[in-house]
């Protein structure tokens, strides 16, 4: 495992990742003007909204006044599904990706060859930041398909010149076999699958001692989960963030030297953080991330409201990477629970649970709204070791009350009770409005 936090890793694209911030801002400004011209020329929703705001060309828009322009929301994408926000002729599209998304409504994103090239570049940077080189072997266990995880890492690994092992998700036995036989140094998958894989390797008495770093994302995870993954797999666990609407993974990624935050590829994806009224929040204050795809052509988005909440910050002082950084995601605007007047993000619950070494990373948070007047948070955990279950439940309840300011109903269930996710994103949160309990033993 790479343990030294003071490590510095070479930049894959020094001209982009390492330039002085004021030079980068000039590039962003120029790209913003070009983007606005592209959107106006394409017509449709974004062009109409720009025209309504009095914008007649790229020259009318500056980064300083960007906050005055209208935002695009997920609802806009749904209402124009499947191809309504495409900004190029159909023959220029080389692939589509997307996600099933919240509420099961799909989002479909068209990519031009130029977009795939940008994606490959930002993903190559992300892998490079984790210490990957041309000599690296990348075991890629993100799902291949419409989901952007598998192919995003794939494009980036190839661009970097590394060897990609395109495992996709699931078939854990075969994954373990490849980890042992091919000896990759980089692992890419969801954090929950990293745990699953690590536990399966431990159960099979196999050590993946070639692994040095992993890029884990696509679902929320905390620093407490990071400790568990690093312990299980003996690697440095880094966070990678992205969303299909913007490009997929690679919008932002931690590097070995980014001090626990994620470098935003802001030369391609300009980021703002705003409050619930859409007003900017200062660095260090949690806000909803709003992205502008400065260079994309297939489905460029001006000021896309991501629903993801994080804190923004400048680069690490004196570090070679001069990109702005974002924190790990704190949550989503739509998954914030308001229970008896208290705002809670599920990640805060995870942080409390996994800070306790007796608790395994398999848990489920249930928002119990069967009685609308008396909503309750129920938390199912599994012990990682043999424990006094009643005592553990009591102590977790006290720790959750201390951190969140509300009482939760904690249930310690037998190992294996909480469903595992081998393919796709983990489901660690459920809403219970009536009928059968989402998990046996949670009531
Ligand atoms: O999840 C892209 C991705 C693939 C990112 C692989 C990282 C690794 P979507 O399926 O469109 O795209 O889902 C996007 O997932 O808006 C976040 O809410 C959530 N998400 C993505 N990365 C993280 C992360 C991919 N590192 C949505 N931490 C986003 C927490 C994440 N949530």
Number of folded domains that form the chain: 2
Final residue in a domain of this structure, among 283, 306, 332? 332
CA of 217 to the centre of ligand 1 (A): 6
Please name the residue whose Cα sits nearest to atom 15 of ligand 1. 218
Q: Would you say residue 320 has pLDDT above 50?
A: yes
Please write the tens of the pLDDT for every residue from 323-339: 999 999 999 998 888 88
Structural domain range at position 354: 337-432
Q: What CATH number corresponds to the domain at position 383? A: 3.30.300.30
CA 308–ligand 1 middle distance (angstroms): 9
**Intra-chain end-to-end CA distance of the chain, in Å:** 41
To test the pocket of ligand 1, the residue of 217, 254, 263, 423 to mutate (highest count of ligand atoms within 8 Å of its CB) is: 217
| Mean pLDDT for the chain overall | 94
* Model confidence band, residue 2 (pLDDT cutoffs 50, 70, 90): very low
Q: Are residues 241 and 371 in the same domain?
A: no
- Nearest-CA residue for atom 21 of ligand 1: 218
Structure pTM? 0.94
Give the C-alpha separation, 118 to 138, whole Å: 20
Nearest to 10 by CA among 319, 242, 313, 327: 319
Nearest CA to ligand 1 atom 14: 243
287 & 428 share domain: no
In a shared domain, residues 194 and 284:
yes
Q: Which residues line ligand 1 (CB under 6 A)?
A: 99, 142, 147-149, 217-220, 239-244, 248-249, 306, 308, 329, 332
Same domain, 139 and 219: yes
CA of 231 to the centre of ligand 1 (A): 23
Beta strand ranges found along 275-375 (DSSP E): 287-293, 304-310, 312-313, 325-326, 331-332, 337-339, 342-344, 359-368
Express each pLDDT in 36-52 by its tens digit.
999 999 999 999 999 99
For the CA of 220, the closest atom of ligand 1 is 30
The answer to whether 241 touches 217, Cβ cutoff 8 Å, is yes
pLDDT value of position 69? 97
Out of 312, 332, 352, a domain closes at 332
Quick one: 151 and 260 in the same domain? yes
pLDDT one-digit tens code per residue, 264-313:
999 999 999 999 999 999 999 999 999 999 999 999 999 999 999 999 99
Question: Above 90 in pLDDT, residue 130?
Answer: yes
């Amino acid at each position: 495992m790479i343990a030294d936090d003071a490590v510095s890793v070479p930049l894959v694209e020094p001209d982009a990742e390492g330039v002085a911030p004021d030079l980068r801002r000039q590039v962003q400004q120029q790209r913003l003007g070009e983007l606005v011209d592209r959107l106006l020329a394409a017509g449709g929703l974004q062009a109409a909204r720009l025209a309504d705001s009095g914008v007649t060309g790229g020259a009318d828009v500056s980064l300083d006044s960007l906050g005055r322009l209208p935002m695009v929301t997920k609802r806009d994408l749904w209402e124009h599904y499947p191809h309504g926000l495409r900004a190029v002729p159909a023959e220029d599209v080389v692939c589509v990706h997307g996600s099933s998304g919240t509420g099961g409504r799909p989002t479909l994103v068209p990519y031009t060859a130029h977009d795939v090239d940008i994606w490959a570049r930002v993903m190559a940077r992300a892998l490079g930041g984790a210490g990957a080189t041309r000599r690296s072997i990348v075991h890629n266990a993100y799902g291949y398909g419409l989901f952007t995880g598998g192919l995003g890492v794939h494009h980036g690994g190839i661009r970097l010149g590394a060897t990609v092992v395109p495992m996709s998700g699931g078939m854990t036995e075969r994954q373990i076999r490849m980890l042992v036989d091919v000896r990759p140094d980089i692992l890419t998958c969801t954090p929950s699958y990293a745990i699953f894989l690590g536990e399966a390797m431990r159960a099979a008495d196999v050590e993946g001692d070639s692994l040095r770093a992993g890029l884990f994302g696509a679902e929320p995870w905390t620093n407490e989960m990071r400790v568990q993954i690093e312990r299980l797999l003996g690697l440095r666990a880094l966070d990678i963030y992205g969303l299909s609407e913007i490009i997929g993974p690679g919008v932002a990624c931690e590097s070995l030297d980014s001090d626990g935050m994620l470098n935003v590829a802001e030369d391609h994806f300009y980021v703002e953080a705003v409050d619930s009224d859409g007003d900017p929040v200062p660095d260090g204050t949690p806000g909803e991330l709003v992205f502008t795809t400065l260079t994309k052509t297939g489905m460029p988005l001006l000021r896309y409201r991501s629903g993801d909440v994080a804190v923004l910050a400048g680069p690490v002082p004196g570090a070679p990477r001069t990109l702005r950084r974002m924190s790990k995601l704190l949550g989503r605007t739509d998954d914030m629970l308001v229970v008896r007047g208290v705002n809670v993000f599920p990640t805060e619950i995870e942080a409390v649970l996994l800070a306790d070494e007796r608790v395994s990373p398999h848990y489920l948070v249930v928002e119990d709204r069967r009685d609308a007047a008396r909503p309750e948070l129920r938390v199912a955990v599994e012990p990682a070791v043999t424990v006094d279950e009643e005592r553990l439940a009591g102590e977790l309840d006290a720790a959750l009350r201390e951190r969140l300011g509300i009482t939760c109903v904690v249930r310690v269930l037998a190992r294996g009770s909480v469903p595992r996710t081998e393919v796709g994103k983990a489901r660690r949160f459920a809403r219970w409005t009536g009928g059968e309990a989402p998990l046996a033993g949670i009531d």
